[in-house]
Homo-oligomer: A and B are copies of this chain.
Amino acid sequence: MPDDKAEKRKLIGSRLAIARKRAGLSQSQVAMELKLPRPSVSEIESGRRRVAADELAMFADLYSVDMDWLAGRGEENVDVIRDRLQLAARKVAGLKNEDLEKVIDLLTSLGSKEDK
């Protein structure tokens, strides 16, 4: 099992960061909304700090995602691909997060031709 605890935390943290950016929120806004210290949000997203389960539930509510996705459970292939897309899109200079989301949504819609 390649599942180290630190790796698990980093995965959850990166998922939280992705979901937060997709929601168009800053760490400060999230910290105020969830009544968490802002440094904790930063360190949680980088995997240097644990997230409590009830905190993860609040994150999931705020970002409108489910906890199992945030924790990397289920739909693994799809999620890995989405993460790669996010990383690749992030390398595009000059694009803002809102635009990145539009690009990703456009690209994902391309796959619907072969899909019913």
For A103, the chain B residues whose CB sits under 8 A away are 85, 88, 107
Q: How far is the CB of A89 from chain B (nearest CB, A)?
A: 4
User: Are A108's CB and B88's CB within 8 A?
Assistant: yes
Interface size class of A (residues with CB under 8 A): 35 or more
User: Are A75's CB and B94's CB within 8 A?
Assistant: no
Given contacts A9-B54, A56-B56, A67-B71, 10 further A-B contacts (CB under 8 A): A5-B54, A56-B67, A57-B71, A78-B90, A81-B100, A85-B104, A88-B108, A90-B115, A91-B109, A94-B115
Question: 5 closest pairs, A vs B, by CB?
Answer: A91-B111, A64-B81, A88-B108, A67-B67, A94-B111
